[in-house]
Amino acid sequence: MGGRLRVGVLAIQGDVREHARVLTDLGAEVQLVRRPVELSSVDGLVLPGGESSAIDKLSRAFGMQHPIRDAIAAGMPMYGTCAGLILLADRITDGIVGQETFGGLDVTVRRNAFGGQTESFETDLDVPALGDPPVHAVFIRAPLVEQHGPDVEALAALDDGRVVAVRQGVLIGTAFHPEVTGELRFHELFLNTVRATS
């Protein structure tokens, strides 16, 4: 591999290609992950945006739920955007009946906190961990972090204080989609986390 980081993108539903492109552009070797054997070949995993309940059901159908939970417990870095943030949350306030998560982030998340597709919006966010300039963030049927535990770092919040990006150890979650705006710094943060733990 010539020292290149090998990272995965969970590829069972959602905006997989966009994440794979950003990670490749940043110099990583990308593995699309649909099976446990593919998960075992990577040092970090991105959980893309999409439909959290569908990804939950498909992860169980593909036999991926428990391997991902085990990887989180073993300390694998993961980055979840939008639905991926929901999947990393320990708690959901408005999940559909029977909806489960992988867990790992000590947060309570509300799905579709801003409404449906027509309530999508864009804004600039100050993210001290990433420095200047502000992050231009796109929210599409986005979740919101309603509560977080003491070990969770709030990386970004809206002007009204509502938290939309978090980090806990090697897990990162954003309610928005950096992969669609050309914003690379969250993926760089994820890759640096992978590098530090590899």
**Residues marked as catalytic:** 82, 177, 179
Rounded CA separation 139/117 (Å):
9
Contact 8, 38 (CB under 8 A): yes
Positions of E strands within 35-142: 45-47, 78-81, 89-92, 105-110, 121-125, 135-139
Helix, coil or strand: residue 68: helix
Q: Which two tokens stand for residue 161?
A: 């204080």
Contact 176, 82 (CB under 8 A): yes
Contact 129, 155 (CB under 8 A): yes
The helix or strand, by DSSP H or E, that contains position 19, with its residue range, turns out to be helix 16-25
